[in-house]
Structure 1
Amino acid sequence: MAAKIHCPKLKELSDHLEPLIGRATTVTASKTPNKFKDSCQTARYVGRDGKLAAVCQLDLELAAYLGAALAMVPIGSAQDDIKAGKLSPNLVDAFREVANILAGVLCVDGAPHVRWTDLTSGLAAMPADAKAVIAKPVERIDVHVEVEGYGGGGGGNLTILTAKVA
Structure 2
Amino acid sequence: MNTVAYTMNALEIGKFLTDLVGVEIKCAAAPKPDSGTMQVCAEYVNDEGEVGGGIFMDVAAAARLGAAFTRIPMGGADDAIKAGELPANLAENLYEVLNIAVNLLPESRNQRLVLSRVVYKSDALEAFAAQSGDVCGAFQLDVQRYGKGALVVASK
Question: Structures share a fold, TM > 0.5?
Answer: yes
Distance 1:37 1:108, change over 3 A: closer
**Of Structure 1 and Structure 2, which has the larger fraction of its residues in helix?**
2
**For 2:36, what is the secondary structure of its paired residue?**
coil
Match for 2:65: what amino acid? L
Over 6 Å off, 4+ runs? none
Matched, 1:146 2:142: yes
Question: How many Å separate the matches in 1 of 2:117 and 2:14?
Answer: 23
Q: Quick one: distance in 2 between partners of 1:109 and 1:46?
A: 10
| Within-5 A mapping of 1:127-166 | 130-133=128-131, 136-150=132-146, 154-163=147-156
Greater Cα radius of gyration, structure 1 or 2: 1
1:88–1:110 distance in 2 versus 1, CA, 3 Å: closer
CA contact (8 A) 1:41 1:57 kept: yes
Match of 1:49 in 2: 48
Distance 1:7 1:121, change over 3 A: farther
The unaligned stretches of length 5 or more in structure 2 are: 1-5
| Contact kept? 1:7, 1:141, Cα under 8 Å | no
Q: How many residues align?
A: 151
1:103-118 → structure 2 map (5 Å cutoff) = 103-106=102-105, 110-118=109-117
CA RMSD of aligned residues (A): 2.4
What secondary structure sits across from 2:145 in the alignment?
coil
Residues 27 and 146 in structure 1, CA contact (< 8 A), matched pair in contact too: yes
Counterpart of 1:37 in 2: which secondary structure?
A: helix
Counterpart-to-counterpart distance in 2, 1:131 and 1:123:
13
Tell me, yes or no, if the aligned pair for 2:106 and 2:155 is still in contact at 8 Å: no
TM-score by length of 2: 0.85
Query: Secondary structure of 1:72's partner?
Result: coil
Residue 109 (structure 1) shift: 8.0
Query: Is 1:17 matched up with 2:10?
Result: no
Q: Which runs of 5+ in 1 are unaligned?
A: 1-5
Structure 1, residues 13-34: CA drift from partner, whole Å, max 9, x if none?
112100111011110000x212
Query: How does the TM-score come out when normalised to structure 1?
Result: 0.81
Deviation per residue, 1:23-73 (Å, 9 max, x gap): 11110000x212243571110011121100001110100100000000210
Q: Could you give the per-residue CA deviations for residues 112-156 of structure 1, whole angstroms, max 9, x where no partner exists?
A: 2211110011125x49963424xx434510000000011xxx111
Structure 2 distance, partners of 1:75, 1:41, is 19
Residue type at the aligned position of 2:114: R
Q: Which moved more, 1:12-21 or 1:86-95?
A: 12-21
Matches within 5 A, 1:82-97: 82-97=81-96
Identity across aligned pairs (percent)? 25
